[in-house]
């Protein structure tokens, strides 16, 4: 059975991981300026195996509104192009035989609001994940006390620490959302 400090350490790590996942999701949201993160998670078929584009190509942003993708193997160009189109990112790749150019169009006000809604949904999912970690940690701490491995005072202190950690992580999630909202809505 785990100790109180192991339960706390594990729960902190899981909560921080939820925030890291949220940041990765936010990086993939289109904000009107070019970012390699937009196509980072897209997978293309490479010799019959789904492979992330970043693993088979060099992704760069030479201009603020352009992403270029230079595959290490030129035979992968058509598959990368298909994968970007299939990912439904709202962009149209252009293949010139050597590299793929992905121009980033200006976002309409309506599209910006849709992206903010997606960001809010993703942040709410992250909050739910943090709360689930809190519930699991609370249950583990209560089980430790029930099995007489810790005292009631230690249990109460542990529950307080878990709640404080939860509140801090949720505040971080709200701050991340606010920053992303400002970035998306900035014209």
30-42, pLDDT tens digit by residue?
666 777 888 877 8
Place of tokens 């980072």: 40
DSSP 8-state symbol, 148? T
Rounded CA separation 35/39 (Å): 8
- Region 50-74: what's the mean pLDDT? 90
pLDDT at 169: 95
Percent of the chain with pLDDT over 90: 45
Considering the chain, tell me which residue range(s) the CATH 1.10.132.20 domain(s) occupy: 4-27+108-185
pLDDT at 187: 64
Beta strands, E only, 19-172: 43-46, 49-52, 57-63, 66-71, 94-95, 100-103
Considering the chain, tell me which residue range(s) the CATH 3.30.1360.40 domain(s) occupy: 37-103
CB 184 within 8 A of CB 29: yes
CB 36 within 8 A of CB 46: no
Is the CATH number of domain 4-27+108-185 1.10.132.20? yes
Three-class SS of residue 95?
strand
Q: Is the pTM of this model over 0.85?
A: no
Architecture of domain 37-103: 2-Layer Sandwich (3.30)
Better-predicted residue by pLDDT, 31 or 174: 174
Q: What is the mean pLDDT of the chain?
A: 89
């Amino acid at each position: 059975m785990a100790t109180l400090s192991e339960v706390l350490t594990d729960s902190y790590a899981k909560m921080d991981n939820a925030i890291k996942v949220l940041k990765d999701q936010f990086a993939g949201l289109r904000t009107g300026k070019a970012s390699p993160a937009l196509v980072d998670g897209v997978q293309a078929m490479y010799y019959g195996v789904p492979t992330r584009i970043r693993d088979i190509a060099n992704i760069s942003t030479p201009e603020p509104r352009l992403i270029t993708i230079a595959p290490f193997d030129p035979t992968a160009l058509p598959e990368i192009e298909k994968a970007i189109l299939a990912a439904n990112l709202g962009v149209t790749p252009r293949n010139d035989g050597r590299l793929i150019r992905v121009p980033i169009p200006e976002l309409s006000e309506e599209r910006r609001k849709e992206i903010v809604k997606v960001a809010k949904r993703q942040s709410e999912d992250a909050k739910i994940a943090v709360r689930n970690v809190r519930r699991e940690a609370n249950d583990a701490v209560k089980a430790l006390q029930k099995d007489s491995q810790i005292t009631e005072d230690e249990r109460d202190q542990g529950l307080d620490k878990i709640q404080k950690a939860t509140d801090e992580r949720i505040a971080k999630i709200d701050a991340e959302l606010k920053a992303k909202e400002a970035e998306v809505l900035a014209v």
